[in-house]
Structure 1
Amino acid sequence: MARWGPLAVQRRAAGYTQEQLAQQMDVDRTTVHRWEKGTATPQPWQMPKLAQLLKVSAAELRSLLPGSTVAVAESAPSPEGGGAGRSEVLKQQGQDEQMNKPVASPLAHVGGLVTDWLSVNFSGGASTAVLPVTEADIHVAEGMLDMFRQLDHTHGARQYRRQVSSYIDNEIEALLRRPVSDEQVARRRARLTAGFCELAGYQAIDTGSPDQAQAYYQRALTLTAVSNDQAYSAYLVAVNLGHLALHCGDPETALRWASSAQAAAGTAVSPAIRAAITAVVARANARMRREREATRLIVQAEMLVDSADRQDEPDWIRYFNHAYLADEAAHCLHDLGRAPAARSQLADALNGVGEDRVRRRAIDAALLAATWLRSGDLDRACAAGREAVAYAARTGSGRCIERVAGVLADVQVHSDYAPVRELREFARAVLPEADDVALTLLGGA
């Protein structure tokens, strides 16, 4: 036993192999191995969960880490890259009692976040033996981000979430620890890391981990201060954090965040970004049954999309076209009880989104089924439900499973109707997880 370090000893005492602990932490086994060797340390937002799994306090965990420098999250930021400037946000996230609370208004923290990240050393004060990060390094990592995003759109988060997390913990953190060739590269590196954190946050929501999504989104927001990207900051606050609040059933918070981002962005950001932000403000109003305001905002967003020139938009917002706005409008109209109008928008959404956006198509097909059910047309509800099941079965998306399960539970009151029985049988055959969730929603019936 003497050959094992203290972290490995505690891990074994808690009953985990390296592989099992890696699965629980959503990282690669090699990451756990590096923690135990002391060649890497857990990220601050990973510490609460790791301490819980190992059955130790936060202070005890720090003492188990070989040569731990995790205390940097509670003191002054380090001069370069990886740990620089996360201190105040991640210290707050690193306390167990804070992890289940809603995110405090992120715009209120921006001033502190900017100050916190001013310690980034653009001049590259590290040893000259370490090669500086160049434009080519950033370009390679940006290609990986594009690939992971496409895989996520097509397959959902479950298959690739661990790979994304591992890439952040290993490749991106390695980039952050190296000096940079110039200030422009430093800004691109910060923007790249924010993009990876945004994707990881979105995947966390997709796999049922909203607290982890909150931590990733806040880190991404912190990084936008380094890249000096006000447009992306506003997008993160409104679209990512706003949708997270809606997902958690808190439209009031979503409205506050999205409205604050809308005001902060003003007219300085591009039309597509303003449209995406405005759509979230509309979604929050619709969830709160403010029909007139939600309708006005959707019309405003449509005008903004009409005025957008795709070539002039940042590459990360070019996805937001009329089809994506139609999806947002359909959700608004469904929440307002306007099923026929929602179906009209869903037709535009499904016709306009690419076949490779499988998760989006599954969610929209499930919503279409719900609108037909609300209108009392069981045949069309079951037909749309079957499409939703087929799309969802091609993804590893927890949100798709939840949406399909909701449809299956809602139609069960008509279980004596043949199309309903056929839909349930099809779901049991190709998407049993959704059928299991539906049974739970029905109280085991």
Structure 2
Amino acid sequence: MGMAERRRSLGYSQEQLAELLGVDRTTIGRWESGRSTPQPPQRPGLAEALELSREELDALLTGPQRSSPEEVRRAPSNGPSAGEPDEMIRREFLRILTVSGALTALPIDDAEALKDGVRRGAPEDFARMNTHLWQVYQLARSKGAVYLLVRDQLTTLNDTLAGDTRGNSRPLLNAAADLLQLAGEVAFDANRYSDAAASYALAASVSKDAGAYDLWACALVRHAYVDMSERRYSQAAQILEAARTLAERGDSALSTRHWVASVQAEAYAGLRDLASCERAMDRAEEVTALPVGSVNGGWLRFDGSRLAEERGARYVQLGHLDLADEALKAALTQGALSSGQSFRRRGTVLADLAVIGAKRRDAEQVIEYGREALRLARASSSGYVARRLQALCGEVGPLRRDQRVADLGAEITALGTS
């Protein structure tokens, strides 16, 4: 039995089930046709509505769907959404992988190829353009605004790789691995997990072809975030251990290994391993001893400026609320005093402070920080902040009896399905 059959057996129309869950009817249509799947925060409510256990719901969603071709054809499409592949960008990913694999098989004279490439300026031009795109991505309130720029750059880079008969592959492959990671970031922020995972995997493959250990490690770190967003902390820890090994073979003057340690701390916190989490955070804080130039502002941006908020977020995961509250409020104050804290970054800290309020059963703290985080999530269209707010909805428990908290929860649910 598919999801549509289960819904009908319980007497729900798509509209009735959508209203019960606080989502749009088109979302139910996409779930039933298999064109997308519910996000983790939406699954408990869906399981309850369909009178299934979480395991039964997972089996229902991963098993073959029985929606008729007519249902699939009628399912409305409003452009790319969570879980739907963006075919244009996916084709660009696969073309880069195919072309890079062919190029690295060619017998080439690396020195002559690099000399020729520098004379023509192509690899350096791509590197400069990628750096510019990362800066645009960081500054953009809505990360999706960078999408078309990234797609156009991917197309241009593909054309250059395809026409490179001299075998000037390594600098171009570095540029491709860099750009694929940015494309993955855009997809991840929009909750398009399958596209993000595909781009990170391809970035790792291209980095391997280029022998670029730091780029390779960073691609794996970003892939681990996809697993952690779906609470697969054991899988994330495995990927991060591989990233740690690669980073140790990379450039010791870069902050790659320190970023790996910071993200390992998040995975360990998810596994409720306090000792390993704190050891990883201590390794991450060693980034402060690195010389200027340890980050490039693009595919590697970890400079230690977020250590306070990251430690606070880890303490939230582990349930050490007093330590978390102190670290996060310090991070919020530091951010308010500087102009460098993005909407996404500030919204994440606010969402974590709201979660602390929920765990303490403090409705005032939930409302104060949750409302502001919601405002920033709307202003930035950040799927990442929206996911953090959805985690808040799972923590409020008996506070739902407070109408203000209930209204906030409804607005967060609507944000996550828009």
Q: If the TM-score is normalised by the length of the shorter chain, which range does it land in?
A: 0.5 to 0.7
Q: Cα offset for 1:383?
A: 1.4
Confirm or deny: 8 A CA contact 1:272 1:320 kept in the other structure: yes
Equivalenced residues, count: 333
Among 356, 371, 383, the residue aligned to 1:386 = 371
TM-score, normalised by the number of residues in structure 2: 0.67
Change (3 A) 1:140 1:418: same
Whether 1:252 aligns to 2:234 is yes
Whether 1:158 aligns to 2:144 is yes
Whether 1:436 aligns to 2:414 is yes
Confirm or deny: 8 A CA contact 1:133 1:175 kept in the other structure: no
Q: Cα offset for 1:162?
A: 4.2
Whether 1:323 aligns to 2:308 is no
2-structure distance, mates of 1:333, 1:362: 18
Q: Cα offset for 1:373?
A: 2.2
Q: How does 1:152-191 map to 2 (within 5 A)?
A: 152-153=137-138, 154-168=140-154, 170-179=155-164, 183=168, 186-191=169-174
Whether 1:84 aligns to 2:144 is no
Among 77, 86, 90, the residue aligned to 1:26 = 86
2-structure distance, mates of 1:218, 1:181: 27
Q: How does 1:75-154 map to 2 (within 5 A)?
A: 83-86=98-101, 118-120=104-106, 122=108, 136-153=121-138, 154=140
Change (3 A) 1:407 1:289: closer
Change (3 A) 1:150 1:136: same
Residue 155 of structure 1: SS of its match in structure 2? coil
Q: Which runs of 5+ in 1 are unaligned?
A: 1-13, 32-40, 46-69, 71-80, 87-115, 125-130, 441-445
1-structure distance, mates of 2:362, 2:386: 23
Q: Cα offset for 1:317?
A: 6.3
Q: Cα offset for 1:139?
A: 3.8
Q: Cα offset for 1:285?
A: 1.4
1-structure distance, mates of 2:331, 2:166: 44
2-structure distance, mates of 1:22, 1:292: 41
| Residue matched to 1:211 | 194
2-structure distance, mates of 1:327, 1:344: 10
Q: Which amino acid aligns with 2:178?
A: G
Q: How does 1:422-433 map to 2 (within 5 A)?
A: 424=408
Q: Which amino acid aligns with 2:224?
A: G
Among 388, 392, 396, the residue aligned to 1:407 = 392
Among 273, 280, 288, the residue aligned to 2:263 = 280
Q: Cα offset for 1:387?
A: 1.9
Q: Which amino acid aligns with 1:236?
A: A
Confirm or deny: 8 A CA contact 1:333 1:342 kept in the other structure: yes
Q: Cα offset for 1:210?
A: 1.8
1-structure distance, mates of 2:396, 2:297: 41
2-structure distance, mates of 1:22, 1:246: 22
Change (3 A) 1:388 1:135: farther
Change (3 A) 1:270 1:251: farther
Change (3 A) 1:134 1:182: farther
Q: Which amino acid aligns with 2:143?
A: A
Change (3 A) 1:231 1:402: closer
Change (3 A) 1:134 1:377: farther
Whether 1:343 aligns to 2:291 is no
Residue 349 of structure 2: SS of its match in structure 1? helix
Change (3 A) 1:287 1:147: same
Greater relative contact order (CA < 8 Å, ≥ 6 in sequence) = 2
Q: Cα offset for 1:416?
A: 5.6
Confirm or deny: 8 A CA contact 1:366 1:385 kept in the other structure: yes
Q: Which moved more, 1:269-278 or 1:152-161?
A: 152-161
2-structure distance, mates of 1:22, 1:296: 40
Task: State the identity as a percent.
Answer: 18
Residue 394 of structure 1: SS of its match in structure 2? helix
| Residue matched to 1:374 | 359
Q: Which runs of 5+ in 2 are unaligned?
A: 1-71, 111-115
Q: How does 1:185-204 map to 2 (within 5 A)?
A: 186-204=169-187
TM-score, normalised by the number of residues in structure 1: 0.64
Q: Cα offset for 1:252?
A: 0.8
1-structure distance, mates of 2:362, 2:253: 41
1-structure distance, mates of 2:311, 2:91: 41
Change (3 A) 1:318 1:194: closer
Confirm or deny: 8 A CA contact 1:372 1:378 kept in the other structure: yes
| Residue matched to 2:350 | 365
| Residue matched to 1:291 | 274
2-structure distance, mates of 1:387, 1:403: 13
Confirm or deny: 8 A CA contact 1:27 1:166 kept in the other structure: no
2-structure distance, mates of 1:150, 1:264: 26
2-structure distance, mates of 1:374, 1:394: 27
